[in-house]
C-alpha cells in the first residue's frame, strides 16, 4: 500500500491510497458524503485479489485530503477535482462511486468520458431526490457530527453546502452523454432511490446495465461486500478485461486494426489536381517523414479510395496536417461527399497543388516514388515547400476517436 497525491480544483491537495501492481488495470474508488476512503477497505482488497490496481480517493474535506480554507464544497469544485485526478493518472481507470461520489463522477464524465475513464460503476446514487429522504440523510450527518464535535474525519461545513436535488438533476441530464460502459447498482430496499427511477436512468445511458443487491438499503456495507464484489468483478471482467486482445494472422482483422489504433497519430488531408483540373483529396493518418536530406515524406493511400487513381498518378501533391479546429474537414474528406472542396477553404499553392488554408502545416511535394503495400500504396514525395502555423494545436487520432493535446 502507498499514498498518492493529486492537485484538484484551485490547487486543493487530494490524497488516495493505492494497492496492487502498476501493471494491472486501474479502478478509482470514490466514496460518499461523510465517509472516507476507509469505507472501501474490503472492496479494495477483493479488487486487488482479482488483479486490479485500486486507487481509493479521499474527497476534498474528507480524510487525508485537504479541508479547504474557503469551504468550497460546491458541485463545480468536486467535479473539477475528479476531472483533474483523471487527467493526472497515467491510465484510464474504471470509476466506482457511491452516493455523492456518484453524482460527482457522472457530472465529471459528461464530457470527454472516453478520454478520462474506461468504465463507470454507480452505487446507491439518487437520481430523483425525495426531500423527506434527503432530510433524513442530512439529519443523520448532523447527528454524527454532534456526537463527536471536532473528531469526525470530514469537514462538517459540507452539511448544507450541497444542493442534492440540483446534483441529482444534473446527473439525469448527463446520462445520455456518458459514453462509457456503465453499471448502476442499487440496494433492493433502498430508501434513497426507487427501482423505477434507477431503471429509467439506466435506460438513458448509451451503454448501461442494472443490478440489485437483495435485502439491503445501502450496498457499500461490510455485510454486503461479497454481493457487491461479485457484481463489480463480473462487470470488470466483461467490460474492462485484464487480458489483452490478441491478433494472429488469419484472425479477425478488426483486432489488428484496433492494435494499430493504439499508435496515436496526427490527421492529414492529401490533395492533388486531377487531369481535368478539379481538386481531389482524402483524409489519411498513415503519414510520416522519410528523410531530411533530401527532404522526403510518405503517405499511405487505400487502393479503393475514390481519389486513389489520381493521387497515384499525380506529378505533384500536397499533405495538409490538420489542426484541432479542422475536425469537420477531416470528416468531410473521409466521407463520400462530392463537394469536399466547396465547403473547405483552400487555394492553389506555389507548386500547383491544392493547399487547405488554416492547416497546422502543409507540404507541397513532387512525386518521388510509388510502392505497392497490400491494400494500400505508399506515395513518397520530395518536399518542395513547407509552411506551418506555430500557434495552433494538432488534431489527433487515437483508438478510433479524435483527441486533443493534454498539457501537463
Whether residue 116 is predicted with pLDDT greater than 90 in this model: the reply is yes
**Angle, CA 88 vertex, CA 116 and CA 12 arms, to 5°:** 115
- Percent of the chain predicted with pLDDT > 70: 96
With cell 451503454, the residue in question is 207
148/100 Cα distance (integer angstroms): 22
Closest of 309, 301, 261, 277 to residue 381, by C-alpha:
301
Give the three cell numbers for residue 319: 499533405
Question: According to the model, what pLDDT value does residue 138 have?
Answer: 67
Work out the mean pLDDT of the chain and round it to a whole number.
92
- Are 85 and 95 a contacting pair, CB within 8 Å? no
| Of 408 and 166, more confident | 166
- Percent of the chain predicted with pLDDT > 90: 76
Whether residue 387 is predicted with pLDDT greater than 70 in this model: the reply is yes
Q: Which residues contact 267 (CB under 8 A, 6 or more apart)?
A: 283, 285, 321, 322, 326, 330, 394, 395, 396, 397, 402
pLDDT in tens, 307-359: 999 999 999 999 999 999 999 999 999 998 778 999 999 999 999 999 999 99
Domains of the chain: 2-239 (3.40.50.1820), 258-403 (2.30.110.10)
Confidence of residue 255 (pLDDT cuts 50, 70, 90): confident
155/33 Cα distance (integer angstroms): 10
pLDDT in tens, 134-173: 666 667 777 776 666 678 899 999 987 888 888 989 999 9
168/179 Cα distance (integer angstroms): 19
- Are 353 and 378 a contacting pair, CB within 8 Å? no
Question: According to the model, what pLDDT value does residue 226 have?
Answer: 85
Average pLDDT over residues 89-109: 96
Q: Is the pTM of this model over 0.75?
A: yes
With cell 448502476, the residue in question is 184
Confidence of residue 296 (pLDDT cuts 50, 70, 90): very high
pLDDT in tens, 374-384: 999 999 999 99
pLDDT in tens, 65-96: 999 999 999 999 999 999 999 999 989 999 99
- Are 185 and 124 a contacting pair, CB within 8 Å? yes
In the chain the first and final C-alpha atoms are separated, in Å, by 26
Q: Which of 191-195, 219-223, 250-254, 284-288 has the highest mean pLDDT?
A: 284-288
Average pLDDT over residues 8-13: 97
Average pLDDT over residues 176-181: 96
Average pLDDT over residues 58-63: 97
Amino acid at each position: 500500500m502507498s499514498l498518492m497525491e493529486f492537485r484538484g480544483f484551485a490547487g486543493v491537495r487530494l490524497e488516495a491510497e493505492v494497492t496492487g501492481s502498476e501493471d494491472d488495470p486501474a479502478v478509482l474508488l470514490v466514496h460518499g458524503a461523510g465517509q472516507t476512503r476507509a469505507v472501501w477497505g474490503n472492496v479494495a482488497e477483493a479488487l486487488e485479489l482479482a488483479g486490479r490496481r485500486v486507487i481509493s480517493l479521499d474527497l476534498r474535506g474528507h480524510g487525508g485530503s485537504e479541508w479547504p480554507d474557503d469551504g468550497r464544497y460546491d458541485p463545480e469544485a468536486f467535479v473539477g477535482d475528479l476531472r483533474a485526478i483523471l487527467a493526472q493518472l497515467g491510465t484510464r481507470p474504471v470509476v466506482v462511486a457511491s452516493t455523492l461520489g456518484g453524482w460527482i463522477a457522472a457530472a465529471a464524465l459528461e464530457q470527454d468520458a472516453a478520454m478520462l475513464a474506461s468504465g463507470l460503476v454507480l452505487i446507491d446514487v439518487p437520481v430523483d431526490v425525495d426531500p423527506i429522504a434527503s432530510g433524513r440523510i442530512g439529519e443523520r450527518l448532523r447527528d454524527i457530527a454532534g456526537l463527536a464535535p471536532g473528531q469526525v474525519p470530514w469537514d462538517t461545513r459540507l452539511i448544507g453546502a450541497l444542493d442534492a436535488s440540483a446534483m441529482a438533476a444534473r446527473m439525469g441530464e448527463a446520462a445520455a452523454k456518458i459514453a462509457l460502459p456503465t453499471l448502476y447498482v442499487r440496494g433492493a430496499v433502498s430508501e434513497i432511490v426507487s427501482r423505477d427511477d434507477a431503471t429509467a436512468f439506466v435506460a438513458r445511458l448509451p451503454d448501461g446495465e442494472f443490478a440489485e443487491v437483495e435485502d439491503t438499503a445501502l450496498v457499500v456495507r461490510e455485510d454486503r461486500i461479497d454481493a457487491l464484489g461479485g457484481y463489480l468483478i463480473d462487470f470488470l471482467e466483461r467490460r474492462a478485461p485484464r487480458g489483452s486482445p490478441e491478433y494472429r494472422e488469419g484472425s479477425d482483422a478488426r483486432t489488428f486494426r484496433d492494435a494499430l489504433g493504439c499508435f496515436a497519430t496526427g490527421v492529414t488531408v492529401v490533395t492533388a489536381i486531377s487531369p481535368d483540373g478539379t481538386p481531389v483529396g482524402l483524409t489519411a493518418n498513415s503519414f510520416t517523414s522519410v528523410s531530411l536530406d533530401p527532404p522526403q515524406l510518405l503517405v499511405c493511400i487505400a487502393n479503393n479510395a475514390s481519389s486513389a487513381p489520381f493521387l497515384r498518378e499525380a506529378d505533384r501533391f500536397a499533405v495538409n496536417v490538420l489542426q484541432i479546429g479542422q475536425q469537420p474537414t477531416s470528416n468531410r474528406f473521409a466521407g463520400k461527399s462530392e463537394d469536399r472542396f466547396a465547403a473547405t477553404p483552400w487555394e492553389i499553392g506555389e507548386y500547383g497543388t491544392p493547399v487547405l488554408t488554416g492547416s497546422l502545416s502543409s507540404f507541397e511535394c513532387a512525386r518521388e516514388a510509388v510502392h505497392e503495400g497490400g491494400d494500400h500504396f505508399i506515395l513518397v514525395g520530395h518536399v518542395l515547400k513547407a509552411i506551418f502555423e506555430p500557434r495552433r494545436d494538432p488534431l489527433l487520432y487515437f483508438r478510433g476517436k479524435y483527441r486533443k493535446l493534454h498539457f501537463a
